[in-house]
Each structure stands twice: as C-alpha cells, then as structure tokens.
Amino acid sequence: MNEKENFACYNKSSFDTPLITVDAALFTYQDGHLKILLVERSNQMSLAFDHLQIINTAHDRLIQKALYSIIPAYALPKKFTLPELQQVHEVIISKPLQKKSFRRRIEQADLLIDTGEKRTGRGRPATPNTMHVNSRRHTFVRNLEL
C-alpha cells in the first residue's frame, strides 16, 4: 500500500493508542506494529528554521530514555503484554533485544501489574499488564546495550 492509499484508509477510532503527530507524519501502534502514516506533502516542503534538528534531537533523546527507563511503555495501550513492550523498545532503539534478558529486567523492577487476564491468539496465551503508578520515575541501574 502506498502513502496516499494508507492515509486514505486511516481511521483513528480503529487504533488503541492516541495518535502522535510529528510535522508531516502520523505515528500509532496497532497489532504489535508501529504504524507510520505519512501525510501527503508537496515536493517543495521543507521544515522551517531548526525543526528538523529539533525532531532529530527528540528522537535521539527517546532512544536514550528507552535504554534506561520504561518510558516506551506509555506508547502502548493501557493493557499490553511483555512481548509488545519489548517490540516497542526494539522499534525505538532499532535493535533486537534478548527476550529472556528483557523479561527479567522488567520483572525484577516490579513495574507492571498482572491483570489476571489471558489473551488468546496464535501460540501460548499472553498475559496483559498495566503500569504501576510510580513506574514513570523508575530508572534501571544498567542501560540496555546498543
């Protein structure tokens, strides 16, 4: 699907997470994938002043925060699974993470609340979690390695 078709069939009510807008692109997380829906642009469009630098700095800062905090979890719906949380981290830092190490890191920090529910689908049923109230302030002792 090309950019124009993708944007034409976009329906914001079909997504679980809030829509985040960044200049000429729309970002959302759905079905375990980060979706990027580009807005139609003119060929002459460029960002004014230092806006590209601001976007790049914000992206770099998000990568750094993903290495030592749980901040990427706030891009997910209220209830999410550990694999979904890992996938958001991987998308942000552009690197795969070891499942066992990531799970241990999150579980030892006690940042999530088990909802007691089960999600069925392909494979083993997944357990949705929610965030503890004080999770936002938590920083890990060691950064994830790039």
Least confident of 3-7, 81-85, 126-130: 3-7
pLDDT of 146 strictly over 90: no
pTM, entire model:
0.66
The continuous run of DSSP H or E covering 21 comes out as strand 20-22
Q: Residue 113 phi/psi, 5° resolution?
A: -115, 125
Topology of 47-146 in CATH? Arc Repressor Mutant, subunit A (1.10.10)
Q: In this predicted structure, what is the pLDDT of residue 20?
A: 45
Domain spans in the chain, listed from the N-terminal domain onward: 1-42, 47-146
Query: How distant, in Å, are the alpha carbons of 70, 88, 106, 109, 139 from that of 144?
Result: 11, 14, 12, 14, 11
pLDDT range class, residue 21, cuts 50, 70, 90? very low
Q: What is the pLDDT of residues 59-75, one digit of tens each?
A: 899 999 999 999 999 88
Q: What is the pLDDT of residues 22-46, one digit of tens each?
A: 445 566 667 777 666 655 554 545 6
